[in-house]
């Protein structure tokens, strides 16, 4: 098991487009485990491979309060989206910032599991919103891209300043325990 470093906005690697996964092997199973460990430790309710600098179409989620409902989606495709609504979002790659985003509140998704088995699943509410947020990461998109340029610039400047202050104090990214507690009670 291993905790992976999470890239933070405006890191240009968050803009990479992830490639489809074609090999379902032990390396992939280990990567899924490490991503769950990283997501639970953060804590977050979802994590896309892009955020840990792996540019493959893989994401993990668990929106349950007791962290008992892990879900893995590989090469996900949305088949149906319905019921547009607004929900407040946060992102481990944009720590400490939350804002409203409009998205479908119901989606039907087709994906593969870590063994390559294709499945379909219907998600609603926070699960549906989180899945779309994670799939955006795989296409190099962040929730702040839906906000005004003014807001996005404000967030970017704040995070750049925090990064600089951290560097000047000699703190490594792995030891900053001030990640956003997004969507998780603690
Ligand atoms: O932990 C997270 N919470 C969250 C809350 C509302 C909408 C989306 C999310 S995803 C986020 C974790 C994260 O950054 N995943 O990419
Ligand atoms: Ni995110």
What is the mean pLDDT for each group of 10 consecutive residues in the chain (186 residues)? 95 98 98 98 98 98 96 98 98 97 98 97 98 98 98 97 91 53 44
Q: Which domain holds residue 139?
A: 12-175
CATH number, position 153: 3.90.45.10
93 — alpha (psi -120 to 50), left (phi > 0) or beta?
alpha
Q: What is the pLDDT of residue 181?
A: 42
Domain-located, residue 183: no
Q: Are 107 and 60 in contact (CB under 8 A)?
A: no
Q: What is the pLDDT of residue 174?
A: 52
Domain-located, residue 73: yes
Best residue among 42, 88, 123, 133 to mutate for probing ligand 1's pocket (most ligand atoms within 8 Å of CB) is 133
Domain-located, residue 182: no
Q: What is the pLDDT of residue 172?
A: 66
Separation between Cα atoms, residue 143 and residue 104, nearest integer Å? 14
The minimum-distance atom of ligand 1 relative to the CA of 44 is: 1
Q: What is the pLDDT of residue 6?
A: 98
Domain-located, residue 185: no
Split into its structural domains, the chain has a count of: 1
Domain-located, residue 1: no
Q: Are 168 and 110 in contact (CB under 8 A)?
A: no
Which residues lie below 8 Å from residue 1, measured CB to CB, with a gap of 6+? 33, 34, 37
Q: Which residues pair with 56 in a beta bridge?
A: 19
Q: How many C-beta atoms surround the C-beta of residue 49 within 10 A? A: 23
pTM: 0.92
45 alpha carbon – ligand 1 mean position (Å): 6
Q: What is the pLDDT of residue 183?
A: 46
Domain-located, residue 23: yes
Separation between Cα atoms, residue 63 and residue 70, nearest integer Å? 8
Answer yes or no: 8 catalytic: no
Domain-located, residue 184: no
Q: What is the pLDDT of residue 171?
A: 78
Helices (H), the chain: 26-41, 126-138, 149-168
Q: Identify the residues whose C-beta falls under 6 Å from ligand 1.
A: 44-48, 51, 89-93, 129-130, 133-134, 137, 182-183
């Amino acid at each position: 098991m291993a905790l992976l470093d999470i890239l933070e906005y405006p890191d240009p690697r968050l803009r990479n487009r992830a490639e489809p996964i074609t090999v379902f092997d032990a390396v992939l199973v280990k990567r899924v485990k490490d991503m769950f460990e990283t997501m639970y430790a953060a804590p977050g309710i979802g994590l896309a491979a892009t955020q840990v600098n792996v540019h493959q179409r893989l994401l993990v989620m668990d929106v349950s309060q007791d962290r008992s409902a892990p879900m893995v989606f590989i090469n996900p495709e949305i088949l149906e989206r319905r019921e547009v609504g607004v929900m407040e979002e946060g992102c481990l790659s944009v720590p400490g910032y939350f804002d409203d985003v409009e998205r479908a509140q119901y989606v039907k998704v087709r994906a593969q599991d870590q063994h390559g088995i294709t499945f379909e699943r219907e998600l609603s509410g926070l699960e549906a919103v989180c899945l779309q947020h994670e799939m955006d990461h795989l296409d190099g998109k962040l929730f702040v891209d839906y906000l005004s340029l003014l807001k996005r610039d404000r967030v970017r400047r704040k995070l750049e300043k925090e990064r600089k202050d951290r560097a000047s104090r000699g703190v490594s990214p792995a030891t900053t325990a001030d990640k956003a507690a997004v969507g998780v009670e603690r």
